[in-house]
Amino acid sequence: MTTKSQLIERVRRILSGGYPSNRDRVKDAEIEKYLESAINRLLKMEMFNMTYTVDGMSIPDGVMLATYENIPVTLGLNDTCTAVLPTTPMYLPERMGVFSVYPSSYPEAEFIPIPSGQYYILQQVKEINSLLGRVPYIWDGRKLTIYRNLIGDGIYSIDIKLAVADLANIGPNDPLPLSPELEEQAIQACVQIFLTEPRTVRDESLEASPENYIK
C-alpha cells in the first residue's frame, strides 16, 4: 500500500512539472499537512469514542473511524453476497475493527456481525430470529460475507466503517488506509489547494541547478 512519503513525492512532481527541486517553495511538511486534511475529508474521519475493556484488552488511543463508501458487492453461494474490505482494519477487542456495515447511504439499515461459522448453527436452533430482522455478516481477513442476496434486493454497494490509525500517528513509510482511487483523489485535492496559491509557484529567479533536482 502507498505511504505518506510516496504521496508527497507525487504531489511535488505534479507541482514542479515533473522536476522537483530542493529550491521548490512548497516543502514536504506543508504537503503532508494538506494531504492529511484531504484524506480526513475523503474518509469522513471521526474519533472512536468508545471506552471498552474485555479480558484485559482495551481500545488504544489514536483510533479513528474511516468511512469507505460505495464498496461493490458480488453474488456468492447460497444467497450470500461478498465484498472486499478497502484496507485492513486495526485489530480491536470483539473484532470491532470492522465497526459498521450497511447499504450505501442507509446507515439506519446497519447489518449485524456474528461469529464466523455461526450463521447456519443459528438457523438450526431457531436463533436467527434473535437478529431482529437485521442482516448478519462475518469478516475474515479482507473478505466480508453477507448472509443475504443484496443484489436480489436491488442493493449493489455498501458503506463500511473501519477502525484505522490517526493519520497524525502514521509514519512517513507506514502504509496509508487508502484504496488506489482514494489516493488519486487525495493527491488531486492537495494539488488544487497549492495551485490556487501564487506563492507556491517555483521562484524562477532562483534557477535550480541539475544537482538540486530530486531524482
SS3 for the chain, per residue?
CCEHHHHHHHHHHHHCCCCCECCCCCCHHHHHHHHHHHHHHHCCCEECCCCCEECCEECCCCEEEEEEEEEECEECCCCCEEEECCCCCCCCHHHCCEEEEEECCCHHHCCEECCCCCHHHHHHCCHHHHHCCCCEEEEECCEEEECCCCHHHCCCEEEEEEEEECHHHCCCCCECCCCHHHHHHHHHHHHHHHHCCHHHCCCCCCCCCHHHECC
pLDDT band, residue 170 (cuts 50/70/90): very high
Nearest to 101 by CA among 148, 143, 62, 144: 144
Using CA atoms, how far apart are residues 212 and 20, in angstroms rounded to an integer? 8
Mean pLDDT is highest, among 17-26, 50-59, 116-125, for 17-26
Rounded mean pLDDT of 63-87? Answer: 95
Question: Once rounded to an integer, what is the mean pLDDT over residues 1-27?
Answer: 84
Burial class (CB in 10 A: 0-12, 13-18, 19+), 6: middle
Res. 144: pLDDT tops 60 = yes
pLDDT score of 215 more than 50: no
pLDDT at position 133 is 72
User: What is the band of 131 on the pLDDT scale with cuts at 50, 70, 90?
Assistant: low
Average per-residue pLDDT for the chain: 84
pTM: 0.82
Domain ranges of the chain: 1-43+177-206, 63-165
For the stretch 84-119, pLDDT in tens is 999 999 988 888 999 999 999 999 999 999 887 666
Top mean pLDDT of 20-34, 131-145, 160-174, 190-204 is at 160-174
The number of CA neighbours under 13 Å toward the Cβ of 9 is: 10
Give the whole-angstrom CA distance, residue 209 versus residue 98: 50
Q: At how many degrees (to 10) do helices 180-195 and 28-42 cross?
A: 120
